[in-house]
Amino acid sequence: MTSFILHCDLDCFYASVEVRDNPDYKGLPVIVGSDPKGGTGRGVVSTCNYEARIFGLHSGMPISLAYRNCPHGIYLRPSRDKYNVASKQVMKIISSYSEIFQKVGLDEAYLDVSSVCRDWKDVKILAEKIQKDVFQKIGITISIGCATTKSLAKIASDFNKPHGITIFTQFNFKDMIKDLDITRVPGIGKKSKVHYHNNGIKQIKDILNLSLPRMRDLFGKHGFWAWKVVNGLDKRRVREKTSGRKSMSQERTFNEDTGDSVIIMEKFREINEKLHKSFIKHNLTCKTITLKIRFEGFITYTRSNTLLYPIQDKLKVLEEILKLYEEFKDKKEKVRLLGIKLSNLEKTRNSIQTSIINFAHT
């Protein structure tokens, strides 16, 4: 039986919501991210619309560089509550088309419609219905990739943006992807592509022309994965909506790099407090606590500790974070960014927090 999998990807999500709510922005370059402060701002672009991308802007670009390239753009700070509402509305629509649904962040989702569609014609009709539904009810556009595997569906969704539908059948997908850059394969990024390029592999067809043993010899497990993806052999299933969230995190960039321990401690408390408001709201516990710290020059470290038992106590989390920070407190370099991530999450049936005393005696 042929699998029919959709990858639904909202187009320039944050920027699209802002344009929807501010019609005067339509047709203008809209950039959501940090305050550019006339080109001296810190932080990065969260997302931008296609009008801004004409000027070379993209997600993750330093906001100062974005401003230099596009000083006439409309720069907006993220309105996360508004984006969360829009995302929930969109996901409710998407998940209504199949029980086998997997949300990936605020703006992406997979849908297995194998039990809903009989053929690729049905798949296209269903994808068009989702697009129409999202646009009419939420007011933003979505691109959809349709394929026999999750990886190919993801590649397809980026094929015809914005507001496009691309179908990779089991018969046409190799011909459609062969000329794409290898970075279109999920898992091959800017760093790993260098190793591929050094071995003469720059386009997907270069992988298709190699045998699996050769790919394994050249790139090990990573090569095995890439070969499976481009040959349509990715067997990962779409996880149903009950799968749950894997982690929650918060991070903050200082307006100026700092070595002041008082300011750093206060920032840890601020991040932890904000993170726990959401953590408690969703009634979660965690076992793994991770510190992220970035110094001047963008040198970044992460350190983690996995506890014996799950906790929901923000004081205990802060205590563990400060222990992890001990390694870095005497470094001469100033700190640019701090972050906290809570993972190995579990849903608890009640909202009673595990206190430090209870934790010590469990």
Q: Active-site residue numbers? A: 108
Q: Encode the chain in three state secondary structure.
A: CCCCEEEEEECCHHHHHHHHHCHHHCCCCEEEECCCHHHCCCCEEEEECHHHHCCCCCCCCEHHHHHHHCCCCEEECCCHHHHHHHHHHHHHHHHCCCCCEEEECCCEEEEECCCCCCCHHHHHHHHHHHHHHHHHHHCCCEEEEEECCHHHHHHHHCCCCCCCEEECCCCCHHHHHCCCEHHHCCCCCCCHHHHHHHCCCCEHHHHHCCCHHHHHHHHHHHHHHHHHHHCCCCCCCCCCHHHCCCEEEEEEEEEEEECCHHHHHHHHHHHHHHHHHHHHHCCEEEEEEEEEEEECCCEEEEEEEEEEEEECCHHHHHHHHHHHHCCCCCCCCCEEEEEEEEECCEECCCCCCCCHHHHHHC
List CB contacts of 169: < 8 A, sequence separation 6 or more.
Answer: 120, 147, 148
The neighbour count for residue 23, using CB atoms within 10 Å, is 7
